[in-house]
Amino acid sequence: MTQSENFHLFSHGGLNILIDVPTGAVHVIDDIAARVLPHLAAGHEREVLQNEFPAAEIPEAQLAWEQLQRLAEQGTLFSPEPHFSQRPGGGQLKALCLHVAHDCDLRCRYCFASTGSFGGARSLMDFATAKAAVDMLFASAARVYEIDFFGGEPLLNLDVVEETAAYARQQAEALGKKVNLTLTTNGYSMNQEVRDRLVALNLDIILSHDGREAVHNATRPCSGGLPSYNEITRNILAIVPRLGERYYVRGTYTALNKDFVGDIRHWLDLGLRRFSMEPVVLPPGSKMSLTLEDLSFLREQYWQLAELALERPFTYFHFNLDWERGQCGARRASGCGAGVEYIAVAPDGGIFPCHQFVGEDRWQIGNVHTGIANTSIREQFLKLGIENKPACQKCWARYHCGGGCHANAWWTNSSLEQPYELGCQLLKMRTEAAIYLKVQQALSQNSSEGDFHGKKEYKQAQ
Amino acid sequence: MKHVVTVYSGEKNTASKGCGQCATSCQSACKTSCTVGNQVCVNKE
């Protein structure tokens, strides 16, 4: 890894933002420092400044050189690449995606799960299977577990959700461990009685909704073809005030709503405040597919989203970069835990590396009733960190995604090691916007940087 | 004049092998790309 591959500089909103890739340190530098930086990174002698800057600017360029050099000495610029021989904790099973229903009352046009059936017969999980999955999870040495009730549509099997949640909590308490529960629903059948039961379950809820009425109805019709916006929106607005911060509204944007910030504005207008809005992943050729040609427009959308977050504060899941309690190096290098720390279980008990592989026989690891049959799949996924993904090793965002989504890599490139290019580009845009937002928030709170040239210029420009 | 302001000094545990107790799934809000967002160490709470 060269020094040049261990930093990333981008500019937006009058700020030059410099990231030290291995540590994730973030600096704001002015234009002079931005011009000095490549020379320092290339290992040039300081005398090069005499040739590169007009005489009047040389004293400040010298000063910028010293200040950047000090960052390097402190270990927050050009820091060395760490190496990790294994996943944190060795890769124990910690999370379960329980497909309690392979059926759905919607027919979303972009559904990766074949509108809920995952390519098989429509079916529900019984409690014996859910219990066996929970027992398998709790047999690992982890201390904190996660279980997501997923589908299809899990509300079609709410009795089993309730029974399983109670069992998991009882087991966790008996074992002295912690279990976090979530449920992902389209909200269509979430009537008053169901809402009461969900609130009583005391779990985190992910509510799927695509924003503006026309957008939502175009992508998320009911099984009979009728629009679902009114019913779902009414149900979501009825339950959200009872959930506090224990919810996210989760949308998908497609080629039909590349201006997805309009959908987030719509959610804000509805009074919602916690969102996730993610790009659809579809094979090329669909009228909803996103393409590389969409990137410049989408880039602008992410910048607009960051500005909107400054203007009308809300929580956007993928802007949540926790600088106070950030993760350790090994975790950031290893990325998604699919197939190792995270598995999905189908209604018949079939075990798969994650929800996106469910229904694909070649990726079946085993069955909760009969045990693990194919250990080689776990071995394959165990190796999937950034060190084994060549494309990631030169990417500045590698410690922000840990190598990206394995399923997307497989579906687009038939390779777990070759990341999904469009997804990578979008992730980098989103990460820059997230960092920009954090920097703006930090600068507005910090008045001690009085003579910082870049900030002054920025403030004057406002 | 300051030409550089450090806004975030970086992850202190860069070289840490980790305890392995953190979340590593698509559990929280997103079922397509799980590892950006909510990058929280459960042991720093």
DSSP string, A222-266: BTTS---HHHHHHHHHHHGGGTTT-EEEEEEE-GGGS-THHHHHH
pLDDT class for A336, splitting at 50, 70, 90?
confident
Q: How far is CA A347 from CA A100, A127, A139, A157, A399, in A?
A: 6, 10, 20, 11, 35
pLDDT class for A4, splitting at 50, 70, 90?
low
| A32 pLDDT above the threshold of 80 | yes
pLDDT, mean of residues B12-38: 60
Q: How far is C-alpha A153 from the geometric centre of its chain's CA atoms?
A: 21
CA–CA separation, A70 and A315 (whole Å): 35
Q: How far is C-alpha A430 from the geometric centre of its chain's CA atoms?
A: 10
DSSP structural state of residue A124:
E
Verify whether the Cβ–Cβ distance A336 to B24 is below 8 Å.
Answer: yes
Verify whether the Cβ–Cβ distance A453 to B3 is below 8 Å.
Answer: yes
Cis peptide before A329 (omega within 30 of 0): no
Verify whether the Cβ–Cβ distance A438 to B8 is below 8 Å.
Answer: yes
- pLDDT value of position A85: 76
- pLDDT value of position A103: 95
> Do strands A95-99 and A342-345 pair parallel, antiparallel, or not at all (unpaired)?
parallel
**Contacts B26 to A, Cβ<8 Å:** 97, 148, 336, 342, 354-355
pLDDT class for A165, splitting at 50, 70, 90?
very high
Interface of A with B in 148-187 (CB under 8 A): 148, 150, 180, 182, 184
Residue B20, amino acid = G
| Å between A375 CA and nearest CA of chain B | 20
More confident residue, A453 or A373: A373
Determine the residue of chain B that is closest to A82 in CA distance. B15
SS3 A375: helix
Verify whether the Cβ–Cβ distance A327 to B33 is below 8 Å.
Answer: no
Interface of A with B in 305-344 (CB under 8 A): 317-332, 334-338, 341-342
CA–CA separation, B31 and B25 (whole Å): 9
- Point out the residue among B1, B15, B35 whose CB comes nearest to the CB of A335: B35
pLDDT class for A322, splitting at 50, 70, 90?
confident
Nearest one of B35, B3, B9 to A26, comparing CA atoms: B9
Verify whether the Cβ–Cβ distance A317 to B31 is below 8 Å.
Answer: no
How large is the angle between the packed helices A295-311 and A421-445, nearest 10 degrees? 30
Verify whether the Cβ–Cβ distance A184 to B28 is below 8 Å.
Answer: no
Determine the residue of chain A that is closest to B9 in CA distance. A25
Residue A433, amino acid = A
CA–CA separation, A122 and A103 (whole Å): 5
Verify whether the Cβ–Cβ distance B6 to A27 is below 8 Å.
Answer: yes
**Contacts B37 to A, Cβ<8 Å:** 276, 317-321
Verify whether the Cβ–Cβ distance A204 to B28 is below 8 Å.
Answer: yes
Verify whether the Cβ–Cβ distance B33 to A95 is below 8 Å.
Answer: no
- Point out the residue among B11, B23, B30 whose CB comes nearest to the CB of A23: B11
**Phi and psi at residue A290, to the nearest 5°:** -90, 150
- pLDDT value of position A2: 57
DSSP structural state of residue A154:
G
- pLDDT value of position A88: 82
CA–CA separation, A401 and A394 (whole Å): 13
What the block records as the tokens of A272 is: 């919602």
pLDDT class for A87, splitting at 50, 70, 90?
confident
What the block records as the tokens of A341 is: 């720390």
| B30 pLDDT above the threshold of 50 | yes
Q: Which of A77-81, A201-205, A261-265, B33-37 has the lowest mean pLDDT?
A: B33-37
CA–CA separation, A297 and A257 (whole Å): 11
Whether A218 contacts A179, CB under 8 Å: no
- What would the DSSP string read from start to end of A407-423? HHHHHHHS-SSS--HHH
To test the contact with chain A by mutation, choose from B1, B12, B13, B14 the residue with the greatest count of A C-beta atoms within 10 A, namely B14
Instruction: Give the HSE-up count for residue A366: Cα atoms under 13 Å, Cβ half-sphere.
Output: 16
| B31 pLDDT above the threshold of 70 | no
- pLDDT value of position A456: 43
Task: Count CB pairs under 8 A between chains A and B.
Answer: 240
Is A60 an interface residue toward B (CB < 8 Å)?
yes
Residue A127, amino acid = F
| A447 pLDDT above the threshold of 60 | no
| Å between B5 CA and nearest CA of chain A | 5
| B33 pLDDT above the threshold of 50 | no
Is A353 an interface residue toward B (CB < 8 Å)?
no
SS3 A136: helix
**Contacts A87 to B, Cβ<8 Å:** 18, 20
What the block records as the tokens of A273 is: 């405040």
| Å between A373 CA and nearest CA of chain B | 22
pLDDT digits (tens, 9 = 90+) for A214-243: 999 999 999 999 999 999 999 999 999 999
| A113 pLDDT above the threshold of 90 | no
Whether A268 contacts A312, CB under 8 Å: yes
What's the start-to-end Cα distance of chain B, in Å? Answer: 37
pLDDT digits (tens, 9 = 90+) for A134-150: 999 999 999 889 999 99
| A205 pLDDT above the threshold of 90 | yes
Verify whether the Cβ–Cβ distance B32 to A279 is below 8 Å.
Answer: yes
Determine the residue of chain A that is closest to B4 in CA distance. A29
Residue A97, amino acid = C
Q: How far is C-alpha A385 from the geometric centre of its chain's CA atoms?
A: 16
| Å between A225 CA and nearest CA of chain B | 25
| Å between B18 CA and nearest CA of chain A | 5
| A402 pLDDT above the threshold of 80 | yes
Is A288 an interface residue toward B (CB < 8 Å)?
no
CA–CA separation, A224 and A113 (whole Å): 18
Task: Outline where DSSP puts E strands in A71-191.
Answer: 95-99, 101-102, 123-124, 144-150, 178-185
CA–CA separation, A392 and A386 (whole Å): 6
**Contacts A144 to B, Cβ<8 Å:** 21, 23, 42
| Å between B37 CA and nearest CA of chain A | 4
- Point out the residue among B4, B15, B22 whose CB comes nearest to the CB of A329: B15
